[in-house]
């Protein structure tokens, strides 16, 4: 079972398997926990030192970037990912956070100012063009309000660090409306291909 693994020139770190969302397009909602050949279904959550050491063992200098990702929401362990991100950046590595953009909502405070010291860029899951669709695609305890919170996160975070919004091109999703929303938020949109989550393993699931 892996907490750090390479994929396509990027070194990925998985600080938790917990999520705020239960995305219908996510393979783990269908019992599939393998990403790029790595089983991410571990129970214990790594400490900052364990995460850093796991990255070091794979020699991050060999990769173009280190990315905090799932199968889980990295900012559920905000202090850990901030610490490890800062240490990796201090060692000269490019670091990206892949997130649901709900950290401010969960924490009850604006955490976006803390991101710039730990990450070179942040990818935020926009998931949908509106709150209702978001809540359908990504059931969560906040319902449609989570979408507004993710949009607020993007608006605030981009003042501190480069932000990219992402969507999974799920069947029936109004992609032009997603593009329009990203444009109105002032960030680029990265459209990720949809895979049948019952069969496949779309990567970077946390965004």
Nearer to ligand SF4, 112 or 205 (CB): 205
Q: Give 3-state DSSP helix, strand, coil % of the chain, rounded to 5.
A: 35, 20, 45
Instruction: Determine the Cα–Cα distance for residues 17 and 180; give it in Å rounded to an integer.
Output: 31
DSSP state of 123: E
Report the nearest approach of ligand SF4 to the CB of residue 100 (Å): 5
Which residues inside 28-57 make contact with ligand SF4, applying CB under 6 A?
A: 28
Q: Does 99 bind ligand SF4 (CB under 6 A)?
A: no
Sign of CA dihedral 199, 3, 66, 181: positive
Q: Return the C-alpha torsion angle 124, 55, 81, 77, nearest 10.
A: 100
Nearer to ligand SF4, 112 or 206 (CB): 206
Which residues inside 119-178 make contact with ligand SF4, applying CB under 6 A?
A: none
Select the span of 14-22, 39-47, 115-123, 184-192 touching ligand SF4 (CB under 6 A).
14-22
**119 contact partners, CB below 8 Å, separation of at least 6:** 68, 85, 89, 95, 96, 97, 161
Residue among 100, 133, 137, 185 that touches ligand SF4 (CB under 6 A): 100
Residue among 26, 35, 82, 151 that touches ligand SF4 (CB under 6 A): 26
Q: Which of 131, 143, 141, 126 is nearest to 192 (CA)?
A: 126
Nearer to ligand SF4, 32 or 160 (CB): 32
Task: Provide the token pair at 168.
Answer: 């999974």
Nearer to ligand SF4, 73 or 178 (CB): 73
Q: Does 90 bind ligand SF4 (CB under 6 A)?
A: no
Residue among 14, 15, 73, 74 that touches ligand SF4 (CB under 6 A): 73
Nearer to ligand SF4, 23 or 187 (CB): 23
Q: Does 181 bind ligand SF4 (CB under 6 A)?
A: no
Residue among 15, 46, 60, 72 that touches ligand SF4 (CB under 6 A): 72
| CA terminus-to-terminus distance, the chain | 22
Instruction: Determine the Cα–Cα distance for residues 5 and 7; give it in Å rounded to an integer.
Output: 7
Instruction: By CB under 6 A, name the binding residues for ligand SF4.
Output: 19, 21-23, 26, 28, 70-73, 100, 205-206
């Amino acid at each position: 079972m892996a907490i750090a693994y390479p994929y396509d020139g990027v070194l990925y770190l998985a600080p938790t398997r917990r999520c705020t969302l239960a995305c219908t397009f996510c393979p783990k909602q269908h019992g599939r926990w393998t990403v790029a050949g790595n089983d991410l279904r571990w129970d214990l959550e790594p400490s900052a030192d364990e995460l850093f050491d796991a990255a070091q063992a794979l020699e991050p200098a060999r990769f173009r970037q280190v990315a905090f990702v799932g199968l889980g929401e990295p900012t559920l362990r905000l202090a850990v990912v901030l610490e490890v991100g800062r240490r990796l950046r201090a060692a000269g590595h490019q670091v990206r956070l892949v997130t649901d953009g709900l950290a401010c909502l969960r924490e009850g405070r604006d955490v976006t100012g803390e991101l710039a010291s730990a990450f070179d860029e942040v990818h935020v899951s926009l998931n949908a063009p509106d709150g209702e669709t978001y809540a359908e695609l990504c059931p969560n305890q906040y319902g449609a309000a989570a979408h507004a919170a993710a949009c607020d996160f993007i608006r605030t975070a981009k003042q501190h660090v480069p932000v990219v919004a992402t969507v999974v091109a799920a069947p029936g999703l109004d992609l032009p409306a997603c593009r329009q929303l990203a444009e109105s938020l002032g960030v680029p949109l990265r459209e990720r291909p949809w895979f049948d989550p019952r069969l496949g393993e779309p990567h970077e699931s946390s965004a």
